[in-house]
Amino acid sequence: MAQAFLLKCDCGYEKEAQIGEGRMGMRLENIRTVFLEAELAEFEAVLKSGCTDYCYGRNLAYCRNCADIINSHVLRYAQGGITKQIIRPCGCGEALLPWDSNIFIKCPRCGGLMDAETTGYWD
Ligand SMILES: [Zn+2]
Ligand SMILES: [Zn+2]
């Protein structure tokens, strides 16, 4: 299940974003096109051991280098009872900070509070 929305700030900052993923996007073929082979090395090994407990989707993250909200790709999977998380780095190469409502409810440009308007749902 995915949700698309538009984050808006009074200063004019706007960001279209998506959280979660539809059924098609959850497929392994898609996950393998989103992440680099090296990033998935451990995940692939876990899959080979028979684990099917994983979840992929889009989520919000923050890039300190770009000082912007990034709609990143996140893959979670269980390994030996521990939940691992892979977050695709920003396009600029910087590692992203995962979404934290305490940080990202604020506009990255002016620090004001942003409105989130839902623009769609899909499965
Ligand atoms: Zn960046
Ligand atoms: Zn703002």
Residues 24, 14 contacting (CB under 8 angstroms): no
Displacement of CA 59 from its chain's centroid (Å): 3
The residue ranking higher by pLDDT, 100 or 24, is 24
Q: Is the dihedral of CA 14, 20, 25, 29 positive or negative?
A: positive
Q: Is 36's pLDDT higher than 70?
A: yes
- Phi-psi map region of 53: left, alpha, beta (phi>0 left; psi -120 to 50 alpha): beta
Tell me the pLDDT band of 102, cut-offs 50, 70 and 90: low
Looking at residue 45, its pLDDT comes to: 94
Dihedrals φ, ψ of 40, to 5°? -95, 0
Distance CA 105, CA 47 (A): 35
User: Tokens 């898609």 belong to which residue?
Assistant: 30
CA of 70 to the centre of ligand 1 (A): 8
The pTM of the full predicted model, rounded to 2 decimals, is 0.89
Nearest of 2, 3, 5, 42 to residue 118 by alpha carbon: 5
Ligand 2 centroid–CA 81 distance in Å is 41
CA of 114 to the centre of ligand 2 (A): 7
Looking at residue 106, what is its pLDDT? Answer: 87
User: What is the CA(83)–ligand 1 centre distance, in A?
Assistant: 25
Mean pLDDT of the chain: 92
Distance 116 CA to ligand 2 centre (A): 13
| Ligand whose nearest atom lies closest to the CA of 9 | 2
Please tell me the number of the ligand nearest to residue 96's CA. 1
Enclosing domain of residue 77: 2-122
If one counts the domains in the chain, the total is: 1
Distance 12 CA to ligand 2 centre (A): 6
